[in-house]
Structure 1
Amino acid sequence: MGYLLTIACYIASFSPAVALFYSFIAHDPVRIILFFLGSFFWLVSILFSSLAWMGLSSILPDTFLMSLALCIFAQEFSRVAYFMLLKKAQKGLNKITRQGQISVAPGVSDLHNARHMLALVCGLGMGVISALFYTMNAFAIFSGPGTIGLPLALETGEIDPNRAGKFLPLCYVLSAILLTLFHVTWTIMVWDMCHKIDRLPSAFVPGAAALVSHLLVAFLSSLNARGFYIIVFSVQFLVLLICIAYCNVIMGGTIQTFINGIGQSLVDAVTLKQIRTWIDERKLRTQRVPDEPMTERGGSGSGGLEGGDSGGGAGGEANPSTSNTVDA
């Protein structure tokens, strides 16, 4: 039973990421490479954060808040470094690509025109590896044997009143989904700042919004240990909606189009539009038009030709001026 729970938790946690990967990344080899490269940059940021935490823990007694802040700053800096790397790659590809030729890596060379799509790809890579690191230890314990928190309860003789209990897998699943989507929005914001930093004085606004929302989400997550699960997830979901709406504005949309898109998505989900479309496409593929007999097609064709010839001849005799006009 524990293994079934673990598999179900993994499927539920990464189903939005799989849907985004299939829709925007799977068909392009360059995007797949950028996806995994984004995961690598996140791992590098966590490595430096761990080294900083080890150094601070040997000096200061309580380094939780400081280590958390350093970890967030390191992650945001890794997004900036990733953007700079892709921009360098773009300039190099533009130099070796002659005018009028197709680039060796069009996904990278089109950074100026498709930076939001690349930000989604790279941010999704960061979000997936972040959610995986967040959940894999807990999901491994879910597989058994035993129950989480039971040994500590037996030692102390009391149960933690703030524990999630049977809802703990659901809390981890929701946290993984939110974390994955948050990384996508944060990457779009930071990359928009990096792209406009030389032209607009207000270019720091998206980056500041990403940093502040990241700090807020991390602080809210720390409140789960006190039992405020419903409040924490509600506020985090509201912050995610605000971040998605802001990213929609960054990419050229409006708040009204964002609201309309959410409404249409809900209608499509309730009416099962995707499933109905898939069934209709399958029916069209399997449906075949019966062939007409050769005699009917031959007879109708010859009759039509004869009728056309006779009609043309009659028309030519009745109105010769028409043929002269056409010839002219």
Structure 2
Amino acid sequence: MTVMEFFGCTFIAFGPPFALFVFTIARDPLRIIVLIASGFFWLLSLLVSSILWYAVVPLREQLVFGLVFSVLFQEAFRFLFYKLLRKADDGLQKVSQTGQEMHMTPRDITNKHIMAYVSGLGFGILSGAFSTVNVLADMVGPGTIGIYGDSKYFFVATAFLTLSFILLHTFWGVIFFNGLDKKQYYMVALVVGSHMLLSCLTLLNQRTSSRDSPLYLASILPAYVMTVIMGVLAYYIAGGSLANVRSCFPCGNARKYEID
């Protein structure tokens, strides 16, 4: 049973991100490089957060201290990676010339959104991996979920939260980069603020005493509401529109042709 839950939670957390990687990144070497580089920058943010946590001895037991500074360092390193990509525009232009249809220039706004999407996905995948690797390792067993009074929904809730944050990091990457490109700093503030808010809401998942039960829905529901909002915003920033959505439905197209 534990092995079945392990695979189920793994597919919940990493199934959609893996599909995004296979269909949008795997066939482009440049995107793979950007994905790995962005993941490395997320690891650097984790390293700096860990150093700060280790140095400030009196606050080591305060989870909120490490969480707040972890979010701030993640967004700081997202900004540093943005600056690195913009400095490397000329090199990316030469590498990306792989064919007539694949030809992209760094001045092309679509290319910038692609790089922002890839870097956001790299941030999200590394964040999700480090959030759940220990949980998944314990999930395999042997053992029985909830045998010591813990919630039996812990593993499933962790998987859904991980998926949400991976997708959010992807959308945040597009919004964050676009805000810096267009000097619309309220978008940058929106990314940092929403990241901080949702991360702090996950504190409700911990048990303060043996009588308390974790409030998983208090963090999962806002996380997925925010995922939808950020997804829609990133979609429109990248040039999408309602007409593009309607074109995906054959019935709508048929009706349009009949009217025409």
TM-score by length of 1: 0.66
Alignment partner, residue 24 of structure 1: 24
Alignment partner, residue 165 of structure 2: 179
In the alignment of these two chains, the number of paired residues is 239
Alignment partner, residue 76 of structure 2: 77
Amino acid of the residue matched to residue 169 of structure 2?
Answer: H
Tell me by how many angstroms 1:109 deviates. 7.1
- Native 8 Å contact 1:89 1:108 kept in 2: no
Question: What are the residue-to-residue correspondences of 1:74-223 with 2, within 5 Å?
Answer: 74-91=73-90, 103-106=94-97, 110-113=105-108, 114-147=111-144, 150=147, 153=148, 159=149, 163-165=150-152, 167-197=153-183, 203-223=184-204
Identity value in percent: 29
Cα distance in 2, alignment partners of residues 109 and 79 from structure 1 = 23
- Native 8 Å contact 2:71 2:196 kept in 1: yes
- Native 8 Å contact 2:53 2:60 kept in 1: no
Relative to structure 1, is the Cα distance of residues 122 and 61 closer, same or farther in structure 2, using a 3 angstrom cutoff? closer
User: Stretches of 4+ moved more than 6 A in 1?
Assistant: none
Relative to structure 1, is the Cα distance of residues 243 and 204 closer, same or farther in structure 2, using a 3 angstrom cutoff? same
Cα distance in 2, alignment partners of residues 132 and 108 from structure 1 = 33
Cα distance in 1, alignment partners of residues 180 and 232 from structure 2 = 20
Unaligned runs of 5+ residues in structure 2 are 207-212, 252-260
Relative to structure 1, is the Cα distance of residues 108 and 220 closer, same or farther in structure 2, using a 3 angstrom cutoff? farther
Amino acid of the residue matched to residue 250 of structure 1?
Answer: I
Relative to structure 1, is the Cα distance of residues 12 and 59 closer, same or farther in structure 2, using a 3 angstrom cutoff? closer
Tell me by how many angstroms 1:62 deviates. 5.1
Q: Are positions 1:251 and 2:243 aligned together?
A: no
Cα distance in 2, alignment partners of residues 31 and 92 from structure 1 = 13
RMSD: 2.6
Amino acid of the residue matched to residue 81 of structure 2?
Answer: Y
Relative to structure 1, is the Cα distance of residues 61 and 38 closer, same or farther in structure 2, using a 3 angstrom cutoff? closer
CA offsets per residue over residues 178-208 of structure 1, 9 Å max, x none?
01101001111111122123xxxxx101100
Alignment partner, residue 35 of structure 1: 35
Amino acid of the residue matched to residue 42 of structure 2?
Answer: W
Unaligned runs of 5+ residues in structure 1 are 95-102, 154-158, 198-202, 272-328
Cα distance in 2, alignment partners of residues 134 and 93 from structure 1 = 31
Q: Which has the larger radius of gyration?
A: 1
3-state DSSP of counterpart to 1:129: helix
